């Protein structure tokens, strides 16, 4: 199931890229196409005192950006988030999420080495779940997402950029766990804050 969902997430990401105008090749020679990779942590906004809750979080993000003007960029992104699902303090499952997003980015200052920005968008999250420490069966539904970010680009060169990014993503998948004769259905709020650093290169 995990591999099939990975393939579905990749197919959706490639479909988003097809939305980019055919004039992309005209921008390519002018340094207006960027590709970036970020890594960091995902911090759930659901209280740790709630049950169930998520913890132990990793976030990876890859994006391709089309710079429309100095101020505006269109981004298509693909990511990976790993969460541990805890029930009464015991880790019962690992949840793997693959968000596919499209964002509009606004560069707040466009001159100099430091470029602060804001961005917002929406997307779809492909999910998979694996039980740990308990026996039984579990399933999780895919769901939509909403996200917003603020960050800073630091130009190491004209085309090579170091990036700090802080974001928030809302998503709430439905989970079903069957264990020891019980059948539990959960609408789990997995929304949280991402804090990542990365590199981007403009071609």
Mean pLDDT across 116-143? 91
What CATH number did the domain enclosing 77 receive? 2.40.160.20
Confirm whether 168 is domain-assigned: yes
Confirm whether 71 is domain-assigned: yes
pLDDT of residue 84: 84
Domain hosting residue 163, numbered range: 2-19+37-202
Listed residue (142, 101, 100) closest to 9, CA to CA: 100
pLDDT of residue 165: 96
Confirm whether 67 is domain-assigned: yes
Mean pLDDT of the chain: 82
**Coil vs helix vs strand at 202:** strand
Q: Are 86 and 92 in contact (CB under 8 A)?
A: yes
What is the rounded distance in angstroms from the CA atom of residue 197 to the CA atom of residue 165?
Answer: 6
pLDDT of residue 20: 43
What is the rounded distance in angstroms from the CA atom of residue 107 to the CA atom of residue 10?
Answer: 28
What is the rounded distance in angstroms from the CA atom of residue 2 to the CA atom of residue 126?
Answer: 10
What is the rounded distance in angstroms from the CA atom of residue 109 to the CA atom of residue 155?
Answer: 13
Confirm whether 114 is domain-assigned: yes
Confirm whether 25 is domain-assigned: no
Query: What's the sign of the alpha-carbon dihedral 140, 145, 150, 154?
Result: positive
Confirm whether 30 is domain-assigned: no
pLDDT of residue 4: 58
Give the global pTM. 0.77
Distances from the Cα of 118 to the Cα of 59, 78, 149, angstroms: 19, 18, 6
Q: Is pLDDT of 3 > 70?
A: no
**Coil vs helix vs strand at 62:** strand
Confirm whether 32 is domain-assigned: no
Mean pLDDT across 171-184? 84
Q: Are 107 and 81 in contact (CB under 8 A)?
A: no
Q: Is pLDDT of 27 > 50?
A: no
pLDDT of residue 195: 94
What is the rounded distance in angstroms from the CA atom of residue 114 to the CA atom of residue 91?
Answer: 42
What total of structural domains would you count in the chain? 1
Confirm whether 31 is domain-assigned: no
């Amino acid at each position: 199931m995990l591999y099939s969902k990975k393939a579905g997430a990749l197919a959706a990401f490639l479909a988003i890229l097809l939305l980019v105008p055919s004039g992309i090749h005209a921008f390519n020679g002018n340094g207006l196409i960027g590709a970036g990779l970020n890594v960091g942590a995902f911090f759930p906004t659901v209280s740790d005192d709630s049950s169930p809750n998520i913890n132990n979080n990793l976030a990876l993000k890859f994006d391709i950006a089309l710079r429309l003007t100095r101020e505006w960029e269109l981004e298509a992104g693909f990511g990976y988030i790993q969460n541990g699902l805890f029930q009464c303090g015991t880790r019962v499952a690992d949840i793997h999420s693959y968000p596919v997003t499209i964002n509009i980015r606004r560069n707040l200052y466009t001159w100099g080495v430091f470029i602060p920005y804001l961005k917002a968008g929406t997307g779809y999250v492909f999910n998979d779940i694996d039980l740990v420490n308990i026996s039984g069966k579990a399933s999780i539904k895919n769901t939509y997402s909403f996200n917003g970010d603020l960050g800073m680009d630091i130009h190491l060169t004209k085309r090579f950029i170091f990036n700090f990014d802080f974001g928030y993503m809302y998503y709430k998948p439905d989970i079903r766990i069957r264990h020891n004769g019980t059948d539990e259905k959960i609408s789990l709020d997995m929304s949280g804050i991402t804090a990542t650093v990365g590199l981007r290169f403009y071609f």
